[in-house]
Structure 1
């Protein structure tokens, strides 16, 4: 399958927030800071990026244009409440007036939570996405956020929430407020070109999981459904290309777009992949995108009875040689193989000792509510055990 679009596209969009897309557009960051009233932003990034030229160049760019900028990078791969508290302390001590979220999903989630907490008097967990907790937020005290993703996976740059690990309770909590959606996003493919192939693959599969679960969710949301369908086509074309050649700027751009599309689409809902990936990430501190990639075919099999029609449409849209559910499942398995994704959870160091607990945590996870099949804790335990060893569900 080929794509005939003009390469190196550059454009400004205003959906779901203001987005500037195109190579080299990170150079517009200082003027955007001034536009949103930032004179002393805090740059929040991943520890792995903090010492790289990419971040140093952004810091220099900001300082050369008269901005007083500091950096916070003490963030785990699965960001924790303590990470947010430490970042908040840096924000307040430095008297910062905005947040530059630069990095992968971990940095973006932590940055958005720091910006939310900037002027709040309540503790972080008071804003967990339960009932109407978001009404507790003092909106006027939130700091503006400009998001610059350096991976194509989570789509957190266009999300209204952050997934933060509560280490004491050993669970992931979703912190939500509508205004957590960044005021401005820059999608610059040049910033993702240094990403290793294995991380490119895992984050790309995360984008696929968002779109695939949104597409299969039973809720009525035709706009999200259409976005998810087209994003999966982009991923089918460009993810293998970018893993094979990390300097393919066109593929990098299209994967950034597909990632943002996934996080836009999943307001329709997610499902069992995320319902299990969240507790597994909390318990084992494993990479979220890689967990979704490994879980994907096992969840599809478990959902087969309820997703026949959407899988037929997806197979047609991807122009797969075999129609329907079987064709999509074959494509997922082949894509994972081509990208070097492990087949089982055992291969990334996960064991089955907490299978019962994982089942209970999964059924209680917010993502479980929109899975096409209403699994109970035993069902989730069985799917987990299947993914653990690569066996068929019992």
Structure 2
């Protein structure tokens, strides 16, 4: 397939501009949304790269001056969002371009939400009808430009933000947090280091896998998740092996967006554990999900035999059923150098009770195909410490 085969406009779940080189259309997209002085929200690593400087210069030439805010952590915090709101107001901005991986996308969407609010950000945690407290007239428009293929935050209606005082990740939600325009340009992901490609790709897999295993009735999300995992099966190994494989990068961007669309059906124990682990240990979210994946699959086995049979058949795995999918996941982890235990990334057994209590309270736990107790979560955590499957 040629590069032009991927050049298209989609309108699900929002307006999406898809294709290599389409970053050049960014000024036009700003004008479509009435942005004259956007705030480009990115992470410190990207902000230092020539790519971002080139975008700033291109937009300036096209009459769209950008302010840049990059003071965000890998797991963005409430303080990061507050600082971003300050930058938005100091520069007289009228919109947000969220540019980067999941941290930049989540922070950018949260900043765009908070620029017109009088309540603290935690008021809008995804609990009950808190979203009704949002002053929607104060929200700024958002263009989302992912540079990794993992979180799918570009098509999400929420942001995961760390409350450092509570040592807890909180989901901030409002339906209008969904970006108005998403730009999927695979050229922006070329050369991403293999370990980050692998960890973010496994994050995309975790979203689709948990959505597919959820018992909620949502056939559209189920179908999207299934096809996304086929794309990941084919293209993630290629993207990790060759960071300049444009076709693989394009399909992984699609699979990532598909995962965040599919998990409207629900997530599960992987994310219920990964969220508190990220908040307490400040580790990469995708890596945490990748380590957890086989342990959670085994814990849920009695409830997911049938979906695993369908998945293994759809992927054309040599062994069908649950064992075939588990072997595939373990093979991917070995191929990508993903650690098998918490000890390999500096997490010990001492926090088992704390993490289990936080996991059972996490909103993602509601989507798990089996109801799990705090003792169950503690067991999964300890199995991941000890490398014990089954």
Query: Which TM-score bucket, shorter chain as reference?
Result: over 0.9
Indicate whether 1:93 and 2:90 are aligned.
yes
1:265 aligns with 262
2:240 aligns with 243
In 1, the alpha carbon distance for the partners of 2:122 and 2:90 equals 22
In angstroms, what is the RMSD of aligned CA positions? Answer: 0.8
Indicate whether 1:45 and 2:67 are aligned.
no
Is this contact kept in 1: 2:230–2:314, CA < 8 A? yes
Deviations 1:170-201 (A, max 9, x none): 00000000000000000000000121000000
2:73 aligns with 76
Is this contact kept in 1: 2:294–2:389, CA < 8 A? no
In 2, the alpha carbon distance for the partners of 1:93 and 1:123 equals 19
Deviations 1:311-364 (A, max 9, x none): 000000000011100100001000111111111111011111110011100000
Count of residues paired in the alignment? 389
| Equivalent position to 2:58, from 41, 58, 61 | 61
| Equivalent position to 1:385, from 368, 382, 386 | 382
2:109 aligns with 112
Question: 1:213-224, aligned counterparts within 5 Å?
Answer: 213-224=210-221
Is this contact kept in 1: 2:56–2:65, CA < 8 A? no
1:294 aligns with 291
Bigger mean CA offset, 346-355 vs 34-43? 346-355
Indicate whether 1:362 and 2:355 are aligned.
no
SS at structure 1 position matched to 2:350: coil
1:128 aligns with 125
1:148 aligns with 145
In 2, the alpha carbon distance for the partners of 1:29 and 1:344 equals 42
Q: CA deviation at 1:390?
A: 0.3
Deviations 1:221-246 (A, max 9, x none): 00000000000000000000010000
In 2, the alpha carbon distance for the partners of 1:124 and 1:392 equals 39
| Equivalent position to 1:329, from 326, 337, 349 | 326
Is this contact kept in 1: 2:43–2:72, CA < 8 A? yes
- Structure 1 residue runs of 5 or longer lacking an equivalent are none
In 2, the alpha carbon distance for the partners of 1:61 and 1:138 equals 33
In 1, the alpha carbon distance for the partners of 2:287 and 2:186 equals 22
In 2, the alpha carbon distance for the partners of 1:156 and 1:101 equals 10
Deviations 1:77-106 (A, max 9, x none): 000000000000000111100000000000
Is this contact kept in 1: 2:102–2:152, CA < 8 A? yes
SS at structure 1 position matched to 2:349: coil
Indicate whether 1:192 and 2:170 are aligned.
no
Indicate whether 1:171 and 2:168 are aligned.
yes
Deviations 1:296-317 (A, max 9, x none): 0000000000000000000000
1:11 aligns with 8
In 2, the alpha carbon distance for the partners of 1:275 and 1:252 equals 28
Indicate whether 1:34 and 2:36 are aligned.
no
SS at structure 2 position matched to 1:254: helix
SS at structure 2 position matched to 1:220: coil
1:203 aligns with 200
In 2, the alpha carbon distance for the partners of 1:386 and 1:88 equals 41
Q: CA deviation at 1:6?
A: 5.8
Tell me which stretches of 4 or more aligned residues in structure 1 moved more than 4 Å.
5-8
Is this contact kept in 1: 2:199–2:287, CA < 8 A? yes
SS at structure 2 position matched to 1:307: helix
In 2, the alpha carbon distance for the partners of 1:326 and 1:115 equals 44
Q: CA deviation at 1:61?
A: 1.2
Is this contact kept in 1: 2:76–2:162, CA < 8 A? yes
| Equivalent position to 2:370, from 347, 368, 373 | 373
